[in-house]
Chain A
Amino acid sequence: MELLWFATVAGMLAVYVVLDGFDLGAGAVHLYVARNDVERRMVLAAIGPVWDGNEVWLLAGGGALFMAFPVAYAVGFSGFYLPLMLLLWVIILRGLSIELRGHLDNPLWAAFWDAGFTVGSALIAIVLGAALGNVLRGVPLDGTGTFHLPLFDSFWPGPRSGVLDAYTVLVGVFTLLALGGHGSLFVAFKTEAALHRRCMRSGAWLWGAAGVLFPIVTWATVRVAPELPGDAAGRPLVWVLVLAVIAAVGTLAGGLYRGRSRVAFIGSAAILFTLLGTAAAARWPVLLRSTLAPALSLDAYAAATSTHGLRVAAGWAAIGLPLACAYFVFLARSFRGKVQVAPSPGHPHP
């Protein structure tokens, strides 16, 4: 049961990264790829009906984590108190930016929310990456079973590093590049003409840059968590997922090469999902790694609620998760096709 819920929570959070990832990425490249009011409204129209549903995967995944592993939720969230609060404020700003831009027909109003959308999305992408970096690197969990981290201290990864250190920032930058590429390809998939072409280009460049950074990230991950490759090597699932990552990279490259935005986007989504899956499969059963001593790490068995509770939840999740997926497919089908918006009613701005 613990393994089932570990996989479910990891899977839900991976779906969150794939789905919200494309609207975050679209936001991160918004100011660059969309050059005028019409194009910017097209980017927003592409994500408008879905971004809120995408963000729900974070809430639902967080809820599942809370239910299944309350100790990990409590220790992790209170340990990351300030960074999480700052993240919340950025999430609020970005959500407003998406929805409020269209309420006034005024170029200054639109420019303000466009900037909020781009800055907010980019910051969230970096913070999500840094959060993943923290989970992989570990936190100073001590004998009391809690931890407290400064935002940054010694910037070099080690026992004295904070939430942000060279490693977690590296993962954050990698995430920004990957999600920027992912979001570009989504916008490319949903649009035509100049915007489509620019998004295909930025998708290729950003994923290319992420690809260059990837070996460095992998090397750094092994440096901060030396036990990880040894744990992972003995697990067949990890190998299957690694092969899936390679297949996904092939799909992405093929889609980009042949200029097929849909194939490229699917490849991009598959890369994100399988990469996160690989990380989770390699990490099992550790939820929060202690940087002080391996024995102090919090694993799924210690953090989980009772087996009866997990079983009951598995019962309703077996109904709820397929329903959630069905809604999503229905929504995507309802808004299928390229987006089109009317010519600018007001003044185009640079």
Chain B
Amino acid sequence: MLDALFWHRLHFGFTITFHYLFPQLTMGLALLIVLLKWKGYRSGSTLHDDAARFWARIFGISFLVGVVTGIPMEFQFGTNWSRFSQFAGGVIGQTLAMEGMFAFFLESTFLGLFLYGEKRLSPRGHLAAAIALWAGSWLSGYFIIATNAFMQHPVGHALGANGRLELVDFWAFLFNPWAIWQYLHNMTAAVVTSSFVMAGVGAFWALSHKFSEQAALNVRLGVTAGLIASCLMVFPTGDRQGKMVANHQPAALAAMEGLFESGPNAELAIIGQPDMRSRKLENPVVVPGMLSFLIYGSFGSTVVGLNDIPQDHWPDNVELLYYAYHVMAGLGTLFIALMAICAVQLRRGKLLASRPLLWALMLAMPFPYIATTAGWTTAELGRQPWVVYGLMRTADGTSPRVSAGNALFTLIGFSGLYLVLGILFLYLVGREVAHGPRTTPRQASGPALVQEAA
């Protein structure tokens, strides 16, 4: 039996990875739905409203799975990480509690109104509900990222006499520079995911010669938003996030890049596998000097390698961190390439006639999910061996009275439950996609949850 620490980490890692598959779609879709509702409101055409209604149904399913898999996240701070909660709760509890009060209430209220209230609200009111829903979901994202940012780069705190962290500077904590760049990077990635899903569904309809007007609209909006968001994801947000890591977590940066030797002209590894025994990159394909340039703006700048960092400060899984980072960065580059080609063909009016590109758009749908998962793996493995960077080691954060066996038991339980959830999600979303957009507001004969005036 492995020790409890391993199971607690896998428990949190698994449940949060699965959970985040859903909010990334809903946060991005919330913005795209606002755009559709806005255009529908301005033009008075039913095409945009029909599209918004279709995506609202997908949003509803994804939101539901996000909610039910999100509740265990808050619980796990207490159940599996009680020493970490005691240590840091006074600080990170602020943003977690604010998320509940400022974001969740807003989100849940306007979700009900947006999904079930189209016939009760005026078009303007329904647009306003969509905007409130978008605001709620993006606010929720900020509070969670600010919580994570404190764990990555603690600011605004002091160590109290009782050995627990205390809040000293609320505004410094809330507007942690790490939080701001990570938030922008994360939210543009969420828009990438939803744009790819939107373009992919549109491409599927176009390829199957169904709902041609809707297919064209979805491809157009998906590709446009996808190109803008993919570019913003790399620059400036990804760039600034990388510099943040270099400045505050040099060990994480060195491991991400597979850099063992310190020195100027540090090379950027494109391909290669870190070999931890001989401390070098195997079969490397590198761009000399590029890493120095990307971080410090000059080729001659020195980047610190792992060899010059004490080994007990190294992230404890260098290989996985390296691969996760390279999968994220590689996919991000490919996303820009694909969306740029599609956008050019779209402008020339040839995208919807190009079956190879439509196939590529459709098959690209899962990859933003892989990229965001790899991105968060990079962030969280890079933070190791700390649970609060430089202040508390992950090994010291677990619940002392929860045994390895108990953690393994509930991990298996969650795995089974989430497998069923995933199948249900794919089945229900697949049905919606096959059924296509609906042309009238939700009728009582459709879903159960419909309210009408007495």
The reply to whether chain A is a binding partner of chain B is yes
B444 with A60: CB separation less than 8 A:
no
Residues of A within 8 A of B113 (CB): 49, 331, 334
Distance, CA A52 to CA B70, complexed state (A): 12
Distance, CA A273 to CA B67, complexed state (A): 26
B428 with A100: CB separation less than 8 A:
yes
B93 with A92: CB separation less than 8 A:
no
- Chain B CB within 10 A, most for which of A71, A88, A316, A337: A88
A302-342: CB near B (< 8 Å → 1, else 0) gives 00011011001100110011011001101100110111111
Stretch at the interface among A78-86, A168-176, A194-202, A214-222: A78-86
A59-95: CB near B (< 8 Å → 1, else 0) gives 1111110111011011111111110110011011001
Residues of A within 8 A of B93 (CB): 63, 66-68, 70, 73, 305
B68 with A313: CB separation less than 8 A:
no
A66-B78, A96-B424, A313-B94 are known contacts. Are A48 and B105 too (CB-CB below 8 A)? Answer: no
Residues of A within 8 A of B85 (CB): 66, 70, 73-74, 77
A74 with B78: CB separation less than 8 A:
yes
A40-66: CB near B (< 8 Å → 1, else 0) gives 110011001110110110011111101
Distance, CA A125 to CA B343, complexed state (A): 54
Indicate whether B41 reaches chain A with its CB closer than 8 angstroms: no
A330 with B109: CB separation less than 8 A:
yes
Indicate whether A227 reaches chain B with its CB closer than 8 angstroms: no
Looking at the complex, which one of A62, A99, A324 makes contact with B105 (CB distance below 8 Å)? A324
A52-B112, A56-B108, A79-B401 are known contacts. Are A70 and B164 too (CB-CB below 8 A)? Answer: yes
B101 with A63: CB separation less than 8 A:
yes
B71 with A91: CB separation less than 8 A:
yes
Tell me the smallest distance from the CB of A123 to a CB of chain B, in Å: 15
Residues of A within 8 A of B399 (CB): 74, 78, 81
Indicate whether B53 reaches chain A with its CB closer than 8 angstroms: no
Indicate whether A226 reaches chain B with its CB closer than 8 angstroms: no
Residues of B within 8 A of A40 (CB): 448
A67-B90, A73-B89 are known contacts. Are A56 and B79 too (CB-CB below 8 A)? Answer: no
Indicate whether B99 reaches chain A with its CB closer than 8 angstroms: yes
B75 with A306: CB separation less than 8 A:
no
A74 with B86: CB separation less than 8 A:
yes
B57-101: CB near A (< 8 Å → 1, else 0) gives 000110010011101101101111011011011110110111111
A74-B82, A77-B82 are known contacts. Are A305 and B454 too (CB-CB below 8 A)? Answer: no
A102 with B64: CB separation less than 8 A:
no
Residues of A within 8 A of B110 (CB): 327
Residues of B within 8 A of A328 (CB): 105, 109
Indicate whether A101 reaches chain B with its CB closer than 8 angstroms: yes
Indicate whether A147 reaches chain B with its CB closer than 8 angstroms: yes
A52 with B111: CB separation less than 8 A:
yes
Tell me the smallest distance from the CB of B46 to a CB of chain A, in Å: 22
Tell me the smallest distance from the CB of B151 to a CB of chain A, in Å: 15
Indicate whether A146 reaches chain B with its CB closer than 8 angstroms: yes
Q: Nearest chain-A residue to B161 (Cβ)?
A: A306
Distance, CA A9 to CA B307, complexed state (A): 50
A63 with B445: CB separation less than 8 A:
no
A327 with B105: CB separation less than 8 A:
yes
Indicate whether B450 reaches chain A with its CB closer than 8 angstroms: yes
A78 with B79: CB separation less than 8 A:
yes
B105 with A102: CB separation less than 8 A:
no
Distance, CA A85 to CA B99, complexed state (A): 22
A53-B108, A53-B112 are known contacts. Are A305 and B71 too (CB-CB below 8 A)? Answer: no
A312 with B400: CB separation less than 8 A:
no
- Chain A CB within 10 A, most for which of B68, B102, B448: B448
A78 with B78: CB separation less than 8 A:
yes
B451 with A60: CB separation less than 8 A:
no
Residues of B within 8 A of A59 (CB): 71, 74, 100, 104
Indicate whether B106 reaches chain A with its CB closer than 8 angstroms: yes
Looking at the complex, which one of B80, B96, B170, B410 makes contact with A63 (CB distance below 8 Å)? B96
Distance, CA A76 to CA B86, complexed state (A): 11
A84 with B75: CB separation less than 8 A:
yes
Residues of A within 8 A of B60 (CB): 99
B401 with A147: CB separation less than 8 A:
yes
- Chain A CB within 10 A, most for which of B61, B94, B424, B453: B94
A66 with B89: CB separation less than 8 A:
yes
Indicate whether A148 reaches chain B with its CB closer than 8 angstroms: yes
Indicate whether B406 reaches chain A with its CB closer than 8 angstroms: yes
Distance, CA A103 to CA B432, complexed state (A): 9
Distance, CA A83 to CA B443, complexed state (A): 40
Question: Can you list 17 residue pairs at the A/B interface with Cβ under 8 Å?
Answer: A45-B448, A45-B449, A49-B117, A56-B105, A59-B104, A62-B100, A64-B100, A70-B89, A71-B164, A85-B79, A88-B71, A92-B71, A305-B166, A309-B166, A320-B102, A323-B101, A339-B451
Q: A70-B93, A327-B105 are in contact. List 8 more A-B contacts (CB 8 A).
A: A53-B105, A56-B105, A60-B101, A70-B89, A85-B79, A327-B110, A331-B113, A340-B452
What residues of chain A have their CB less than 8 Å away from a CB belonging to chain B? Answer: 40-41, 44-45, 48-50, 52-53, 55-56, 59-64, 66-68, 70-71, 73-82, 84-85, 88-89, 91-92, 95-96, 98-103, 144, 146-148, 192, 305-306, 308-309, 312-313, 316-317, 320-321, 323-324, 327-328, 330-331, 334-335, 337-342, 345
